[in-house]
Amino acid sequence: MWRLHTRATPPRHVADLHVDGSDFPWLTAAFRPLAPYEEHRPLFVRLADLSETEEWEAFDACWSELNRTLALHTPEGVPVADFLLHVEDDDSRASFRWIDEPAEGPPA
């Protein structure tokens, strides 16, 4: 199971992602938000809106904010360097991709 945590000290567990499919390079997952997710939900909504309207500079800024405040952890508990996570409107499903090395922008 993949986990989303805050980068704060101490980190807070934000959500669980149960991977159930893939469309390389994307993984698809059941998304199980926990109480701390509500604090971060507006960033995910904004990211989706900016993607839809193709406002890429603002999208990059929003993505950077997500990666500054949240960390995606592999099933082994290791945080990835960078990730892009799309959460569906009803917060039940997500798709994501990740990379091992920091990127200058969202993973392509």
At residue 101, the pLDDT reads 72
Q: In what order do the strands lie in the sheet with 70-73?
A: 70-73, 2-6, 13-23, 26-33, 93-99, 82-87
73 bridge partner residues:
3, 79
Alpha-carbon gap, residue 9 to 49, rounded angstroms: 30
For the beta carbon of residue 52, count every other beta carbon within 10 angstroms. 9
Checking if the pLDDT of 104 tops 70, the result is: no
Tens-digit pLDDT profile for residues 37-57: 999 999 999 999 999 999 999
Domain boundaries, the chain: 2-99
Model pTM score: 0.87
CA atoms within 13 A on the CB side of 98: 19
The whole-number pLDDT of residue 100 equals 80
For 49-95, how does the pLDDT look when each residue is reduced to its tens digit (9 = 90+)? Answer: 999 999 999 999 999 999 999 999 999 999 999 999 999 989 999 99
